[in-house]
Amino acid sequence: MKIAQGWLSAGTQLVSPNTDQRPDQADISLLVVHNISLPPEQFGGPYIGQLFSNCLDPNQHPYFADIADLKVSSHLLIDRLGNITQFVPFNQRAWHAGVSEFEGRSNCNDFSIGIEMEGADNIAYTDSQYDVLTAVTQVLLEAYPLMTAERIVGHRDIAPGRKTDPGPAFDWARYKSALS
């Protein structure tokens, strides 16, 4: 697995319109782990890709009526089977962090890469997801020297009180141990 022009060589590309230029491409220094499931706590289906592509049908599920108009994205999604979908090239800013702050610096989208794990706060992630997340992270750490293991956080860490993901079901010790 490698990165060329901001895209991973592995996985599927599904380009999101919810992206823009980073203020400084050389400043990529933070990795943010998220979770997402649409509808909540249900896995599979096209809905996450539809949300990040601005084509989620609000009539498909009652929950979708509240989120269908959101303009959000992430760089990557790792689904329950370990499949990767990339929505935004790493050298572009994805709209994943929202109002956020890390080490006194706001607007984490400016300097971070966001990876969505298909999951929910209290549902265990799969072995395949951990394996793929670890492999992707190792490629990112090599490609972006300002990003270190200490600069890998959950969404909850940069938006406390507003976000809880990836939640208590995410095994940080397992993930960090696999990186070393």
Catalytic residues: 116
Q: In what helix (H) or strand (E) does residue 118 lie, and over which residues does it extend? A: strand 112-118
In this structure, which amino acid lies at residue 174? R
Query: What are the distances in angstroms from CA 115 to CA 61, 66, 84, 118, 168?
Result: 24, 23, 10, 10, 17
Tell which residue, 171, 179, 109, 170, has the closest CA to residue 149. 179
Query: What are the distances in angstroms from CA 66 to CA 57, 69, 71, 148?
Result: 11, 8, 12, 36
Residue 120 is classified by DSSP as B
Tell which residue, 103, 114, 84, 104, has the closest CA to residue 22. 114
Residue 47 is classified by DSSP as H
